Amino acid sequence: MSFLSNFFKFGSQNMAIDLGTANTLVYVQDQGIVLNEPSVVAIETINGIKRVKAVGDDAKMMMGKTPDSIEAIRPLRDGVIADIEIAEEMIKHFIRKVHGKRNLFRYPEIVICVPSGSTSVEKRAIRDAASNAGASEVHLILEPMAAAIGADMPVTEPVGSMVVDIGGGTTEVAVLSLRGLAYTTSVRTGGDKMDEAIVSYVRRHHNLLIGDATAERIKKDYGIAVVPEDGIGETITLKGRDLVNGVPKEITINQAHVAEALSEPIGAIVEGVRIALENTAPELAADIVDQGIVLTGGGALIRRLDEHLREETGLPVSIAEDPLTCVAIGTGRAMEDPIYRGVLMTA
């Protein structure tokens, strides 16, 4: 049996997967990040039979624009798998896309990163999805640990470091030292909640209904954590459906409105950081005063968020070099580098 499993694993490329609520990134051993696509699956129903129509970029383009027979699903919500079957199909698709048809019999070892607040049931669901997708061995790594490794933080040394990873579904706040998490908290607020906040703000103040894709575009292009100095900032043109007349309509808002809309989700992230600092051991807190806080994840790209956090905590705050890929790079390094092997877990 071991001969057979070794035969199948021969020449296989081990993979690290950052299974994110918004995007899934795949890191292949000795190659780096080879895939970065949205975590979306489009399912088509014909005569009562469901089949996968598109995954990733192609499926994301269909969101909010599908006929009754097609449904665009995001299998992960708030950092955890909401639909295990669809998630499995998505993982299978990405593995096949990376490996190609020629590697049909090759069973790679896979490392998947999970939010620190995941329950054992959720971890098992992720492990089972990867095993069913063809992995020979599945290891898990906690998201804040992967983010810290990807951001080149001294996680193996007896020094306290603090990382704030703002993802699509969750914000992970953790204090790390000696390959472990001294304290961690998972705030169920991230990029998705910011999109929802923009949608509800526009609906409440302008009686205009906009889609999630439009809200995401506003967040990426104009998102700001504090009101601009001139009180207005850039102006933004929005198109959506007028809730009073029911017809399509165009309105103009500015960055100050966006800052107001984002104040609640950003406030929840700041509160999560405060709670983590309150629960940190004094020696580690002393290290954090010197080391500061490092921001990773897509949410770190919100303009002036580091400045806002600096004002709220009084600590130095920096943004990782490439916040969007930090977790995937850290997961890959943990798989490749024996120094980090101790941070991997089995579900």
- Comparing C-alpha atoms, which of 16, 333, 347 is closest to residue 179? 333
- Comparing C-alpha atoms, which of 187, 192, 165, 189 is closest to residue 176? 165
Neighbouring C-beta atoms of residue 57, cutoff 10 Å? 11
Residues 6+ apart with CB under 8 A from 268: 171, 187, 189, 193
CA dihedral for 305, 76, 162, 110, sign (positive or negative): negative
The beta strand positions in the chain, using DSSP E, are 15-19, 23-28, 32-38, 41-46, 49-55, 70-73, 76-77, 80-81, 109-114, 137-142, 161-166, 171-177, 180-187, 208-209, 235-242, 248-254, 293-296, 317-319
* Residues 140, 114 contacting (CB under 8 angstroms): yes
What is the three-class DSSP state of 248?
Answer: strand
Residues 6+ apart with CB under 8 A from 52: 41, 42, 43, 44, 89, 93
Binding-site members for ATP are: 21-23, 168-170, 216-219, 298-301
Binding-site members are: 21-23, 168-170, 216-219, 298-301
Tell me how far CA of residue 132 lies from CA of 7, 82, 97, 335, in angstroms.
Answer: 19, 17, 16, 20
Helix (H) and strand (E) counts in the chain: 11, 18
- For residue 173, how many C-alpha atoms fall within 13 Å in the half-sphere facing its CB? 21
- In this structure, what DSSP letter does residue 82 have? S
* Residues 314, 339 contacting (CB under 8 angstroms): no
Q: Return d(Cα 58, Cα 102) in angstroms, integer.
A: 23
